Amino acid sequence: MNQLEKEYEEIQPKIYAFFYAKTGNRATSQDLCHDTFYEACKNIASFNGESTLSTWMFAIANNLLKKFYRKNKYQQNLMEKLAAIPEADIHSVEELTEINEDAKMLLHHISKLDDAAREILLLRIYGELSFAEIGVLIGKSENYARVTFHRLKLRIQKMMEVTL
């Protein structure tokens, strides 16, 4: 048995247990565990030995878990928002089409922004992260994230008004 197999057999049950304790779902835990090892193999060149392999793997696992929670929270919120639209508020197919067109237009305008601006908007709107969390992710201050988001929001609103 080579060193990699030995490490896998030692770390895999711990990572699976971590995911199972956090999600309470066997299938989800298995999927996340698989994704962790896939990401580790894909990015093994970035492992510099400053920490143990186990610590590095758990950092990957923790990031995947956060991504999983954000994705599920976004999907759940979207379903709740769609369910919360009273049918009385939508009187026709045209109104529903108009709502979809507005959403498409918003995403179109967001896609025109530079990468850094688009990331701030998407992390706040769809990721529902706090400005402090966004600041950490982009390597800037919480205030920078807050001010930039506000300016971008105003810019998008102007772009939407011009298009209408």
The pLDDT score that the predictor gives to residue 144 is 95
- Residue 49 gets the label, from left (phi > 0), alpha (psi -120 to 50) or beta, of left
The pLDDT score that the predictor gives to residue 15 is 87
Mean pLDDT of 107-114: 81
Q: Supply the mean pLDDT for the chain.
A: 79
Is the pLDDT at 73 greater than 90? The verdict is no
Q: How many residues in the chain?
A: 164
Residue 88 — very low, low, confident or very high, per pLDDT cuts 50/70/90? very low
User: Both tokens of residue 87?
Assistant: 């049918």
Residue 74 — very low, low, confident or very high, per pLDDT cuts 50/70/90? low
Domains, the chain, in order of start with CATH, read 1-84 (1.10.1740.10), 86-164 (1.10.10.10)
Higher pLDDT: 83 or 70? It is 70
The stretches of 24-141 forming alpha helices (DSSP H) are: 26-42, 53-84, 93-111, 115-125, 131-138
In single-letter form, the type of residue at position 44 comes to I
The pLDDT score that the predictor gives to residue 98 is 57
Percentage of the chain modeled with pLDDT above 70: 78
pTM of the model: 0.47
The pLDDT score that the predictor gives to residue 147 is 94
Higher pLDDT: 22 or 145? It is 145
In single-letter form, the type of residue at position 2 comes to N
**Which residue, 32, 67, 63, is CA-closest to 46?**
63
- Residue 5 gets the label, from left (phi > 0), alpha (psi -120 to 50) or beta, of alpha
User: Both tokens of residue 61?
Assistant: 């696992």
Higher pLDDT: 158 or 77? It is 158
Question: CA-CA distance, 72 to 77, in Å (whole number)?
Answer: 8
Going by C-beta distance under 8 Å and a sequence separation of 6 or more, which residues neighbour residue 18? 58, 61
Residue 64 — very low, low, confident or very high, per pLDDT cuts 50/70/90? very high
Q: Is the dihedral of CA 92, 97, 102, 103 positive or negative?
A: positive
